[in-house]
Structures are given as structure tokens and as C-alpha cells.
Structure 1
């Protein structure tokens, strides 16, 4: 059948398409889909032929007698068949409800009409269009079973327009919310508290991110330049010793070994500067991105706890918030469905040329 209480049975039977029960469900689904579509087409044509536009059109094409024939001879049959069809739908619905109760398709016996609300409402003459939902459900399930009921281009077109509608609705909602937030920030005196709360809420995340950034960038660069830095510091210490005239004069007073001691002191000073620099850099190059070293974590923690009760800092934070909202607004205003249309048009033009 075309409804959810039979879905479990159909899924159980999907593995063997040759069973009589599966064929029965398939035939019944197709039968219901066809008669629903035929019924809706007949009702649409009937509504058209009874309209003032039909009177004008048939008078224009000089066939008023054909329209009169329909109203006098065929229209009563349409009314009768509609009443018969409604009776059939009521009986069919009650029968399926009874089967659902026997086989306990639902947890409670009275769940059936609520689950199949569209079928119940479709019995009402003014809500006949809801019958189309059942036909669509049947077609969708047949598509899932591998039967090509709906042409591929129809499905693509329907999916495209569904996305257009959903995108337009969601864009309107998002833009309205963003504009409301901006209006609140512009007019409310509590916007500073909102921004401060926003910053306070993200302090821990900011500290973790800053520590990772320092580890990935500063620590890596220090490690790459470590040899150059230690060498340069060593040379600076050696040059500082050599440029100290008091030490040079004192050492030259020592006969024979004075110059040798001077060179040894310069060498020791250079090595000492290199070792000190190496020891200062090592703590900053340790660790990794997932576990930054303690020095960077301490720096990040102190920076994240900074007091934002500062006019320049408040303006900076406000600017970031406003520009973020504006960027989101601009992105939302981009019509993705228009881009898809342009891409399809370009593809068509390329295929033509």
C-alpha cells in the first residue's frame, strides 16, 4: 500500500521482488497513484470548464455548444464519480485502519488517523489537493525501490525550486536576525555588557588558540633560527670582551701569556654567550601544537585575562563584532540558486558552441 503502515512489510519483501505479496503491494501502489492523479486531473479540468474564463474562451473559438454539452451531460457524471471516489477513499482508509489494528502497526490503535492526517483531510471536498501528497509518497517509494516513476529532469527541477524556496526563507530569517542584533547593539545601552560577556565566554578558547599559534609560529621560527641566534650572541659577547680596553690593558701587563689569556677569555665569553642563549631559547621551542610549552601557555593565559575596560580596546571589539555581522549578512545575501542558474546557462552555451 501507499502508506507508512505497509513500509515495514515492503522493506522486508524488497529482498525478493518475485514474491506474490510484494507484487500485490506494487500493483496496489501503482493503482492508487494512477487513480489519484486521474481524479485530480478531472477535477482541475472540471473547475476550468465551469469557470468564466472557459465561457469566454469557448465563445472566442466558436464552440459554446461543446461547453454546454459538457455542463449538461458530462458534468453530472464528474460529480457522481467524485462522490463514488470519496466513498472508496473512506472505505479504503477504514479497511487499512482495521488491518493496522490487527497487525499492530502502531503502538496505539487510534494513532492511524493522526499519522495519515493528509488522507483524512483529503476526503473533505475543499481539501482534495492533499490527495496529491499520497501520490507523491507512492512515487517517492517506487523511486527508492528502483522504479523510474519520475523523469530525472523533473526531479532536478523540483529539487532546484525546493532549494530556491528554502534558501529564500532561510535568508530572510537570518538577515532579519542579524539586523535585529545590529539594531540592539546600536540602540541598547547594554551592548557593552553583551560584548564583555561574549569576550569573557571565549577567554579560555582564546588562550588555548593563542598558545597553539605561538607554538606553531614562534616556536618553529625560533627553532629554525636557534643556531644563528646563539652564534650571533656568542660573537657579540666576544666582541664586547675585545672592546673592553681596561681588560685588554690588564691582560697585556702579563708577560708572554697575556695575549693568550685574552684570546681564551674571548673564546670562553663567546661560548658562555652561546650556552646562555641556547638555555634561554630551549624552553620556548619545546612542546607541540597539541601540547604547547608552559611559557607560551602562561603568555596566552595572561593575554586572555587582559581587562577590556579600555576605550580603544572596546572599539576594536565592537568593530570586530559589527564587521563579522556584516560579513555574514553579505554572504547570506548571495543567491546560491542564481549561481546555479548561471552555471547551467554557461554549460548550455558551451555545449551549443
Structure 2
């Protein structure tokens, strides 16, 4: 058996001048766990072997004492050998198993006392809770839990760098553990999704869910709406103040509308034509002036109404008003129901994907 990994001697405090003397005071105190040594590792290995042999004998004895073994022995014409085992070896094995159980109880109690002496845990009564599988494994009906101790010992040796099992076996065990946990968790999640869908079919529960969701997130809804209005709508509106683009188009259309309105006013044309010589000239100039007035009015309104401060306060008012929307709205219920259903469907489809099939460990 290779020796356990040795620990380097502690450094002299004088060689570390940069460390603060109060550095250890700032860290929370940890339990003083004993470091692994050769004797402890040897004891763990021996206990793992003994427990494995004990569990193997218990399994073989349970199989040979079952009715299934009696039928198989009768079919194979080895009933006399089975009867000899049941009458000769069964009772001594049970007696040996009882003594081994007593040994485990005493060994567990001694380890508890050692843990209390070495302050391995924060409280003295933590030991039986941490080693619950060993405590329950002392009962004859729960002897199968002793396998957990063998597994724990093997895992501890593996963490210390000792190859307890071949690496392909470890990879296979990890793969099937991940497979089992994934399938179990998928079933739980899918059942939860189905139950949630069933609850949403109740109109009262559905309405209560929407009201509580929107009420809890009104501030977030207002913040998102305000962000969208400031980044999407505000720049579009501010383009109207420019002399080119949307602003010039709107101003030209308003000017054309005023010019057309003046041209289609028969009273104005009749009065202007009463003025000799200059009447037609005044009419054309008046229409041109009306066109310019319309454009100037649009530019003036844009500059006043689309002022950055005024526009931002308007966006804030709009976002706050939308965030305070009444949840008793059929269209809103339909929209939120559709979003929830789509989200659950996509989530359910993702859960149904068996991730273990896409791992590179399939060539086990």
C-alpha cells in the first residue's frame, strides 16, 4: 500500500513579513479535522473489505434461504447440498453476523468518542447525524445501509489519490448516476409543469396569478417601458425638429394644406379680385405666405413640444400610466396566457431532451 501524501512542514512566521498578524482573526474558525495517516488509511481499507465481505455473505445467505433457491436446487438436483447449508452453515453465519453487528456498534461508539476528543465537528452530537447510515446500519433489518460506509470509505480514498476502482468503472458509475438523477429530475419537473397547467385552467387561479405577477413587477414594467420609449420613440420624435427628413415633410404638407385652403376659399378670391390690377398678385402672395406660415408653425411647435426635458417627462408619464394598467382585461389575459403557454411548452421540450445521450461517455 503506498504511503499517504505527506504534508510540508509549516513555514516560519518570520519568513512571511507581508502577512497581517490579524489575518487569522478575520477568518472563521474551522473544526480541527485529523489529517489522514498510514494507520487510518489501512484501517479504512480493512473496514471496507470486511464490510464488503459481510454484505456479500448476507446477500448469499438471503438468496440461499429463499424459496426461489429451493426451487432452483430441486430443478438442478442439488437439494441435499442446499439443505446441508441451511441446517449447518446458516445458524453460524447468523451468529457471526450478530457479533459483527456488535463490533460495528462498539467501533462506531469509539469513533464518536475520538471525534469528540479531537473536536472533529462543531458540536459533540453531530457525529451520529453525519454518519446516519452507520447508525441505521447497526439494525439487522437495515444492514444493507452498511454499503454506504464502504462507498464513503472508497470515495475518501479516491479523493486522497488512491485508485480504489479502475477508472472505466468509475466513469461507468458516474454516467449511470447522472443518468438516474437526470431522469428522476425530468419526471419531477414535467409533473410540476403539468400541475401548473392544470391550475391555470381555473379562471380564478389564472386571474389571481396574473394580478399578483403584474402587481409585484409594476416597477420593473415601468422601467422597461421607459427604457424602450427613450431609446425607440424619443429619437423618432426628435427627428421632427430637424429641417430635413420627417420634419420637413410634415411642415411642407401643413404649408400645402394652408395654401390649398386659401386657394379654395371663394370669398377671399372674390374680395381680392375686386382690387384692380394687384388683386391676382396679392392672392398668389397670400397663398405663398400661408404656405410659409404653415411650415414655420410646424417647426415652432416641434421645437416647443419636443423639447428634451418636456419629452422625457412625457415618456415617464406614459410609462407610469401603462404600468398601472388594469389587470381585469380580456385581451391582456389572452396575451399573458399565450406567453405562459409558449414558455411552458419550450421549457418542457428542453426538459424532455435527454442530455445523457449527447455525452461522449456513451462508448462505455
TM-score over 0.5 for the alignment? yes
Match of 1:290 in 2: none
1:104 aligned onto 2:123? no
Q: Give the deviation of 1:177 after TM superposition.
A: 4.7
- 1:21-170 paired onto structure 2 within 5 Å: 21-148=36-163, 149=165, 151-170=170-189
Among residues 200, 219, 231, which one is paired with 2:248 in the alignment? 231
Q: Give the deviation of 1:158 after TM superposition.
A: 1.3
Match of 2:321 in 1: 302
Contact 1:233–1:273 (Cα < 8 Å) also in 2: yes
Contact 2:251–2:296 (Cα < 8 Å) also in 1: yes
Structure 1 stretches lacking a partner, 5+ long: 1-6, 14-20, 287-292
Distance (Å, rounded) in 2 between the aligned partners of 1:234 and 1:89:
96
Distance (Å, rounded) in 1 between the aligned partners of 2:219 and 2:284:
59
Among residues 300, 303, 308, which one is paired with 1:283 in the alignment? 308
Against the structure 1 CA distance between its residues 155 and 191, is the aligned structure 2 distance closer, same or farther, given a 3 Å change threshold?
closer
Against the structure 1 CA distance between its residues 28 and 174, is the aligned structure 2 distance closer, same or farther, given a 3 Å change threshold?
farther
Distance (Å, rounded) in 1 between the aligned partners of 2:58 and 2:248:
93
Distance (Å, rounded) in 2 between the aligned partners of 1:207 and 1:111:
50
Deviations 1:21-76 (A, max 9, x none): 43333333333223222221221111011111111112222333332343344334
Contact 2:178–2:356 (Cα < 8 Å) also in 1: no
Distance (Å, rounded) in 1 between the aligned partners of 2:85 and 2:239:
92
Contact 2:226–2:316 (Cα < 8 Å) also in 1: yes
Q: Which has the higher helix share?
A: 1
Structure 2 stretches lacking a partner, 5+ long: 1-30
Q: Give the deviation of 1:204 after TM superposition.
A: 3.1
Against the structure 1 CA distance between its residues 58 and 136, is the aligned structure 2 distance closer, same or farther, given a 3 Å change threshold?
same
Q: Give the deviation of 1:258 after TM superposition.
A: 10
Contact 2:200–2:206 (Cα < 8 Å) also in 1: no
Taking structure 2 as the reference length, the TM-score comes to 0.70
SS in structure 1 of the partner of residue 119 of structure 2: coil
Deviations 1:283-306 (A, max 9, x none): 3897xxxxxx32211011122334
Against the structure 1 CA distance between its residues 219 and 284, is the aligned structure 2 distance closer, same or farther, given a 3 Å change threshold?
farther
Match of 1:182 in 2: 200
Against the structure 1 CA distance between its residues 98 and 199, is the aligned structure 2 distance closer, same or farther, given a 3 Å change threshold?
closer
1:205 aligned onto 2:220? yes
Contact 1:208–1:297 (Cα < 8 Å) also in 2: no
Against the structure 1 CA distance between its residues 37 and 279, is the aligned structure 2 distance closer, same or farther, given a 3 Å change threshold?
farther
Distance (Å, rounded) in 2 between the aligned partners of 1:341 and 1:332:
18
Taking structure 1 as the reference length, the TM-score comes to 0.72
Distance (Å, rounded) in 1 between the aligned partners of 2:239 and 2:68:
84
Against the structure 1 CA distance between its residues 278 and 25, is the aligned structure 2 distance closer, same or farther, given a 3 Å change threshold?
farther
1:171 aligned onto 2:156? no
Distance (Å, rounded) in 1 between the aligned partners of 2:350 and 2:72:
40
Contact 1:207–1:300 (Cα < 8 Å) also in 2: yes
Against the structure 1 CA distance between its residues 58 and 78, is the aligned structure 2 distance closer, same or farther, given a 3 Å change threshold?
same
Contact 1:122–1:129 (Cα < 8 Å) also in 2: yes
SS in structure 2 of the partner of residue 217 of structure 1: helix
SS in structure 2 of the partner of residue 158 of structure 1: helix
Which one has the largest radius of gyration? 2
Contact 1:237–1:270 (Cα < 8 Å) also in 2: yes
